[in-house]
Structure 1
């Protein structure tokens, strides 16, 4: 998952698309405009995607907020939540977007197909994203998939997102930051 990078719509509004893909099939799970690049919006989109498609085993991101933080081991609240769910958070090396090449390639196609000419509004831009997502997943063959479409290879996870996050338990012998 990643942010595409902002651009401006025809009415002068800033557009920040947040995207989630399946690494194996390249299936575009989400392409959604956010009003702020922050924990609450990203968490809500991730949770909605996991309720619809199940929980992934791994999530790969860059090192920007809200995926990484400045605390211990660069963990953010979002990453800690994923850890509690048993999801492995893979962060690419700083300044190495090629380590998330499939996702970056999708971003290039997304930009080419949806931003010129600029959409008249954020609502019109989201409509373009929704149409792009359908075509990208169901109609556009991908050379890297031997000309298959992502929808033909994608399988949702069978692991459901729990209603409540489990409490984090420390391994035996490890101490927590809580005083006892």
Structure 2
């Protein structure tokens, strides 16, 4: 069975996670979150199997070899993220559409793979300055890791035009309302 996928991608700090959480609260009867696998350590109160499937690098590479991922990437040096085929199939089997909160390259891979069954939305931050302020405000990264995220974000902003929709997140409430309309138009 093949269903629909709604992909939210953006640089870290653009607001995609907040938007996706709001959509899940509002439309949990129609959509379910695709939990990504990652080799990174949990941050804060993240829970294995809810926020991510936290697995070792060795296990991740083993699953790549077994072709268990529909997409994967080494997002940061030594840190892999990916979408397990079984995760998408689990959600479709429940009769729901899959919603993603995923990095830019991963989002484009999914769009290419699933074509018309996927809606790829790029969440555009108000400015690079605002993005840096949000990342610093999290207080979860070392200065070195923060600089890595900022450099990556600068590159990722150049991919916006490859997405179906660019959703400007100047005002969070308006961005969430626009995201709601996009989602409902696509899945209905």
TM-score by length of structure 2 reads 0.30
Choose between structure 1 and 2 for higher RCO, CA contacts under 8 A separated by at least 6 residues: 2
Structure 1 or 2, whichever has the larger Rg, is 1
Q: Considering fraction of residues, name the structure with more helix.
A: 2
TM-score by length of structure 1 reads 0.31
